[in-house]
Chains A and B, each alone.
Chain A
Amino acid sequence: MALVVFSSELQLFTGEECTHVEAARFKEIVAELVDKYESLTEEKLMEMAVAIDGEIIHTPFLEVVGEDSELHFLHRISGG
């Protein structure tokens, strides 16, 4: 089961630092998290980037994560 670690900002919604998820496909992981945490919305998560095992993915729509993967949601970065 992959581990999702929440930033301090997301902890406002989740009330905890991390959780394990059953799903492997990103869309299902988001659904699982939205189910688990009442105030967390799909819209909020889908507008963020995600780092899977340290690789930052800007638009993680079709990602499949491994059993031991670690996920972090983070703000999308642009640049100059």
Chain B
Amino acid sequence: MSEAQEFKYIGQRTIRPDGYDKVTGRAQYGADLSLPGMIWGRTLRSPHAHAKIVSIDTSKAEAHPDVFAVVTFKDFGSVEGESINAGEGAADVLDLARNCLADDKVLYHGHAIAAVAARTERAADDALDLIDVKYEVLSPVMDVEDAMKEGAPVLHEDMFTQGYEETPSTPSNIATRLEMKMGDIEAGFAEADVIVEREFRTPTAHQGYIEPHACTARYDEDGQSMVWCCTQGHFDVRTSTAKLLGLDLSKLKVVASEIGGGFGGKTVVYQEPVALALSRKAGRPVKMVMNRDEVFIATGPTSAAKLKAKVGAKKDGTITAMQGWMAYEAGAFKGSPMMPGVMTMFTPYDCGNVQVEGFDVVVNKSKVAAYRAPGAPQAEFAAEMVVNEVAEKIGMDPIELRLKNAAKEGTQTIYGPKLKTVGLIECLEAARDSDHYKSALADGCGRGIAAGFWFNIGGQSSVSINMNTDGTGTILEGSPDIGGSRASMQMMAAEVLQIEPSNLKPIVADTDSLPYSQGTGGSRVTFATGMAVIEAAEDVVKQIKERAAAIWNVTAEQVDYADGVAINTAGEEKMSLAEVCQAAEKTGGQISGTGNINARGAGPSFAVHLCDTKVDQETGKVDVVRYTAIQDAGKAIHPSYVEGQFQGGAVQGIGWALNEEYIFNDDGVMENPGFLDYRIPLASDLPMIETIIVEVPNSFHPYGVRGVGESGIIPPLAAVGWSVGDAIDRKVEELPCSPPRVLSLIQNG
């Protein structure tokens, strides 16, 4: 589809169907399920960032009168190092198991070692103190520079760098090296009149969802089991948990509770296999809920990174060459999002000479998890800062420079295909014409602009629509609703069936009730699960036509369907959807549509953000005074929740740019594992976040949808970073722009 379509329901701002439960407190989240006979699980965590485990003695804990079970790595049985699809792409099972409970080594402060299930949470905590672990403490490696040095302590003796023509024969902390290039980078720089090159750093930052990880697990006598948990992908929780515990998939039901934020961080398992192992041993249901400090030290975060960007341009603004280098922290196990970093870094630009090299590096921090457009914010931060400096050097408006070089349909990407229709130019034009950009900057303020690119994904989604005898229906989907997507599913089904959205009840079904569905991530749900909903609804319409045709003794082709009514084109008869559903008993049984798909053709979403900041010259404190987020939605199904994604992404990016960072002491122990010291943005820190929804339809989606969840977190890092630099007449090279760092820039340049 490419032309603008007319819609009956899509594009309205309906009340979300799950909203009433959420404003009244009825909605049940990860920690809200209690079962009869339930006991509590708690986790013993490593006080060291890097150590060998010499021995673990759990006998005293097991003897505690309130303790029912203690588990360690050994309780996972035999896990081998095979690759499974466990959330955010392929994961190594052995790494996953070793992250849930350490095997012979602890690799970060907070690494889980053992878990106890006891009558009360307090008793479980007391029993943890009775577990005796002997360590041989090793030197921690806390950043990519130290980790990549020759002679650095090695985390994994069996890790040999992949990605060189010849794999090295000695182990190192570099898991993977990746290089992508096109054109002639040297020739490109030779053509340039201006070249800017800088080095940047971004901190370890956490997804910061307000709901800690939580689950309740129950293992029954007959081997049937159930896990209730807050997750972005309950089918992937089932895969991982079943693998670690050696269960058949049919014997493990995973129920996705309501989820209190995830942003990528709830795509992997931490406690779920442990809780089920405890339940199996204890013969009781087990609940596990992380404390906030556990969330910080042992889940997420995203990669800290060191990056270099070099961009060359002619005086007229034509960019001639773009070169990047990046090293991303993976945390304790390989698998940082360096690869998408390499792929996205310069994608907003139509430049033929590009070269990017990336390194995936293990360090003694918790294993990184996906975080909203994983890998892209760091890489594009470096790129956008340098592009802004190029514009400054040649005296060109930064939006004009971007418009001159903007990626568009047909632009060759570094990662493979040429782009199809995309909306970057439309976003840039909307930024240029916005009230914000046309307004003069207040005294003492700085202004920054940046673009962002994210691919978005499709993937497997399974949907059933079951029609009731009164013409209402239930939509069963397998994608946990993290930001209002049930409203979108309801509207898309309503659009196909041409009935009021409120007549359709969307439900996130458990793993027993639907075929496999990939998790909520990659901005895929409204796009891919939406396509599955449309397909299921079209299946219902097809059956409605067939049933009406049978009643009228005509062929299905002779039946039209419009405005919720089947019409006999060979006669005069009409039947409403409700009437056909009511007659289903007489025409072959109840009506149910399915859409089990592997969605293809995800459309990238470009974003452009504008940021004005004011800097207190005496303290270095930065205030965001005006902010505008512009992004291509393809088609906004529910505009309020599309704006919500733009605003939420922007503010997470603002937090990353201004305040958020992990602080470690010399022993690799995190010193700020709480919301007081790891400071995410508060209501009082922010202005309204203005939004402009651009709609350049994705030709591969029936309604033109692009995912919108992730791109919005990319531009803030450079929009804020450049704005702060502009306000203090300095060049920012390191995030976050926290008061001490900004003050030091003001004072020392």
- So, do A and B actually touch in the complex, CB under 8 Å? yes
Assembly CA distance A56 to B339 (angstroms):
17
B417 adjacent to A54 (CB under 8 Å) = yes
B419 adjacent to A54 (CB under 8 Å) = yes
Assembly CA distance A75 to B90 (angstroms):
12
B340 adjacent to A77 (CB under 8 Å) = yes
Q: In this assembly, does B343 line the interface, its C-beta being within 8 Å of a C-beta of chain A? A: yes
A51 adjacent to B417 (CB under 8 Å) = yes
Assembly CA distance A72 to B207 (angstroms):
33
B598: chain A residues at CB < 8 Å are 58-59
B522: chain A residues at CB < 8 Å are 77-80
**Which of the 9-residue segments B291-299, B442-450, B454-462, B559-567 touches chain A?**
B454-462
B230: chain A residues at CB < 8 Å are none
Known: A8-B179, A79-B264. A58 touches B417 (CB 8 A): no
**61-77 of chain A: CB within 8 A of chain B:** 70, 72-77
Tell me the smallest distance from the CB of B379 to a CB of chain A, in Å: 14
- A55 in complex: contacting residue of B181, B374, B456, B600, CB < 8 Å: B600
Known: A55-B600, A78-B370, A80-B263. A72 touches B417 (CB 8 A): yes
Q: In this assembly, does B371 line the interface, its C-beta being within 8 Å of a C-beta of chain A? A: yes
Known: A74-B415, A80-B264. A58 touches B458 (CB 8 A): yes
Assembly CA distance A74 to B339 (angstroms):
11
A79 adjacent to B523 (CB under 8 Å) = yes
Tell me the smallest distance from the CB of B623 to a CB of chain A, in Å: 28
A59: chain B residues at CB < 8 Å are 598
Assembly CA distance A76 to B457 (angstroms):
9
A78 adjacent to B374 (CB under 8 Å) = yes
Q: In this assembly, does A5 line the interface, its C-beta being within 8 Å of a C-beta of chain B? A: yes
A54 adjacent to B418 (CB under 8 Å) = yes
Q: In this assembly, does B373 line the interface, its C-beta being within 8 Å of a C-beta of chain A? A: yes
Q: In this assembly, does A12 line the interface, its C-beta being within 8 Å of a C-beta of chain B? A: yes
A45: chain B residues at CB < 8 Å are none
Q: In this assembly, does A9 line the interface, its C-beta being within 8 Å of a C-beta of chain B? A: yes
A80: chain B residues at CB < 8 Å are 88, 207, 263-265, 267, 370-374, 521-522, 709-710
Tell me the smallest distance from the CB of A37 to a CB of chain B, in Å: 15
B343 adjacent to A78 (CB under 8 Å) = no
A55 adjacent to B700 (CB under 8 Å) = yes
Assembly CA distance A78 to B502 (angstroms):
33
Tell me the smallest distance from the CB of B376 to a CB of chain A, in Å: 10
Tell me the smallest distance from the CB of A42 to a CB of chain B, in Å: 16
B180 adjacent to A9 (CB under 8 Å) = yes
Assembly CA distance A8 to B455 (angstroms):
19
Q: How many residues of B contact A (CB 8 A)?
A: 46
Q: In this assembly, does A57 line the interface, its C-beta being within 8 Å of a C-beta of chain B? A: yes
B88 adjacent to A56 (CB under 8 Å) = no
A74 adjacent to B456 (CB under 8 Å) = no
Contact digits for B316-335, partner A, Cβ 8 Å, 1 yes 0 no = 00000000000000000000
Contact digits for A1-41, partner B, Cβ 8 Å, 1 yes 0 no = 00001011100100000000000000000000000000000
A78 adjacent to B417 (CB under 8 Å) = no
A79 adjacent to B415 (CB under 8 Å) = no
Minimum CB distance partner of B343 in chain A: A75
Known: A8-B182, A55-B700, A56-B600. A75 touches B415 (CB 8 A): yes
Q: In this assembly, does B433 line the interface, its C-beta being within 8 Å of a C-beta of chain A? A: no
- A8 in complex: contacting residue of B181, B372, B374, CB < 8 Å: B181
A70: chain B residues at CB < 8 Å are 417-418
B88: chain A residues at CB < 8 Å are 78-80
A74: chain B residues at CB < 8 Å are 343, 415-417
Q: In this assembly, does B694 line the interface, its C-beta being within 8 Å of a C-beta of chain A? A: no
A73 adjacent to B416 (CB under 8 Å) = yes
Residue from A9, A55, A56, A73 having most chain B Cβ neighbours under 10 A: A56
Tell me the smallest distance from the CB of B20 to a CB of chain A, in Å: 28
- B459 in complex: contacting residue of A12, A58, A72, A73, CB < 8 Å: A58
Known: A5-B416, A54-B419. A79 touches B600 (CB 8 A): no
A79 adjacent to B601 (CB under 8 Å) = no
Tell me the smallest distance from the CB of B478 to a CB of chain A, in Å: 17
- B710 in complex: contacting residue of A54, A57, A79, CB < 8 Å: A79
Tell me the smallest distance from the CB of A71 to a CB of chain B, in Å: 9
Tell me the smallest distance from the CB of B184 to a CB of chain A, in Å: 12
- B521 in complex: contacting residue of A7, A58, A78, CB < 8 Å: A78
Q: In this assembly, does B157 line the interface, its C-beta being within 8 Å of a C-beta of chain A? A: no
Q: In this assembly, does B45 line the interface, its C-beta being within 8 Å of a C-beta of chain A? A: no
A55 adjacent to B601 (CB under 8 Å) = yes
Contact digits for B217-261, partner A, Cβ 8 Å, 1 yes 0 no = 000000000000000000000000000000000000000000000
B contact set with A: CB distance below 8 Å: 87-89, 165, 178-182, 207, 263-265, 267, 339-340, 343, 370-374, 414-420, 454-459, 521-524, 598, 600-602, 700, 709-710
Question: A-B pairs with the 5 shortest C-beta distances?
Answer: A79-B522, A80-B264, A51-B417, A72-B416, A74-B416
A-B contact pairs, 30 of them (CB 8 A): A7-B180, A7-B416, A51-B416, A54-B419, A55-B420, A55-B600, A56-B417, A56-B458, A58-B457, A59-B598, A70-B417, A72-B416, A74-B416, A74-B417, A75-B339, A78-B87, A78-B88, A78-B374, A78-B521, A78-B522, A79-B264, A79-B454, A79-B457, A79-B522, A79-B524, A80-B263, A80-B265, A80-B267, A80-B371, A80-B521
- Given known contacts A55-B420, A74-B343, what 20 new A-B pairs fall within 8 Å (CB)? A5-B416, A9-B178, A9-B179, A54-B420, A56-B600, A57-B601, A58-B459, A58-B598, A70-B417, A73-B416, A75-B415, A76-B89, A77-B343, A77-B522, A79-B88, A79-B454, A79-B456, A79-B523, A80-B263, A80-B370
